[in-house]
Structure 1
């Protein structure tokens, strides 16, 4: 079934009258957007800057990312390893634009400070993941780097899952992904350099029912040695495509240690 995206084009809500048989009338206009409609570009933002403050993102000065406030004042945003939107993509105008990140105004330190800026140029009808990255610099108060990933939809199949690998380890090596628990197990994706993404790989026998579990090990492609322990992803739905990404700082421990995570790219 063709999936449709919706966004609010305008909103007028009014009371018709005070008669008992009259209630709240909504006259909100929506536009149906077919997948890949070239009138728009489709964006996801993944904050992979370790130690990043909580920020919200703006396109040409207008707020783009959204997270519900609990106070009526903007007090929520996106920190390290958080993605907007959680599922799917947000609609944007194609062409050259400035993407910025600002600390939320209720933060104790540096409220409303701009800590990130990059120029993007999304093409009509295409999908992108925008990745602020690199260790947040507490002296300059800047997120130092940025990666743009074009998200090309694979030919989905309801009996399979599709994965790719994005490598954003600060200072790290090229990485290979293995399905299993040892370096002798089958390689799924090989030799993905830092700040690059692999092609899609299909898992044609994921097992289980509609959802499945996938255990993977990521290794240093140059030395053939594991980077961390086996990671098991549960609840993966067949017929969807997932981006696995390796993040963190090479050589770090704790919350900034190299780690593998994922988000849903297409469904």
Structure 2
């Protein structure tokens, strides 16, 4: 029987269903009670960071894994550059060696149903992962060329601090460092993150006043200390949460594939 289970983590499991508000369940053909990190499953998030990527859906061992609502009853929606599945939390998969693929949606005007992405993963029981297809979409071979798999180890959260890590997914870019601030003279909080890797978690112990302090970040070439893009300034980072900041795009490219830093909430 096909299983498609979704899991939202916010200290406890939450129901991913509009018809039952009881906490601690996921929806299948029947309801199943889970606890966070239940070793019966692995927990997967997919973030498409391939510039120029067509709209794709993802499949686990040939069975559709990702899901977006369709207004027509025909699969006409999926995930393109800088889109994430699921929107919140993690999808649930069986642990062990698996093949994750991506196919262009069947209603596409070009290359419908073509497989453009494939990678082998081996998620461990009870662990959380973000899988990032990346690298500029190759229009000659019609493939997404690379993959970054991050194990999402939950850090110790503190309601007085903001926790961040930095992922370097800039196609053709250099090893980078992350600055807290808007100028290259401001403090580096994460150093020497190579392309297609991510740092460990780092605490920002004095993020500012209020529950949602304003924080700015700048990414620089680790070797030259030259800024590679404009600073990210946000008022939406919340104390007591952990965020993945990532630099995406193509080195030296213009919009919409210009280098830019973005973030998503990883744990709260």
Work out whether the TM-score is over 0.5.
yes
Distance apart, 1:155 and its partner CA: 0.2
Aligned to 2:235: 234
After the TM superposition, list the runs of 4 or more consecutive aligned residues in structure 1 that deviate by more than 3 angstroms.
none
Residues 1:183 and 2:184 are matched in the alignment = yes
TM-score relative to the length of structure 2:
0.90
Distance apart, 1:2 and its partner CA: 4.0
Distance apart, 1:208 and its partner CA: 3.4
For residues 186-197 of structure 1, what are the structure 2 equivalents within 5 Å?
186-197=187-198
Distance apart, 1:227 and its partner CA: 0.8
Once residues 259 and 250 of structure 1 are traced to their aligned partners in structure 2, the CA distance between those partners, rounded to angstroms, is: 10
Q: Deviations over 1:50-107 (max 9, x none)?
A: 1000000010111111111111111111001111112211111100111010111111
Aligned to 1:161: 162
1:3 to 9, 12, 29: 12
Distance apart, 1:207 and its partner CA: 2.0
Once residues 258 and 126 of structure 2 are traced to their aligned partners in structure 1, the CA distance between those partners, rounded to angstroms, is: 36
Aligned to 2:245: 244
Q: Give the number of equivalent residue pairs.
A: 249
Larger strand proportion, structure 1 or 2?
1
Unaligned regions of 5+ residues in structure 1, if any? 11-28
TM-score relative to the length of structure 1:
0.90
Distance apart, 1:251 and its partner CA: 1.7
CA contact (8 A) 1:161 1:239 kept: yes
CA contact (8 A) 1:248 1:257 kept: yes
Unaligned regions of 5+ residues in structure 2, if any? 1-9, 15-24
* Structure having the higher Rg: 1
- Alpha carbon RMSD of aligned pairs, Å? 1.3
For residues 1-267 of structure 1, what are the structure 2 equivalents within 5 Å?
2-5=11-14, 6-10=25-29, 29-267=30-268
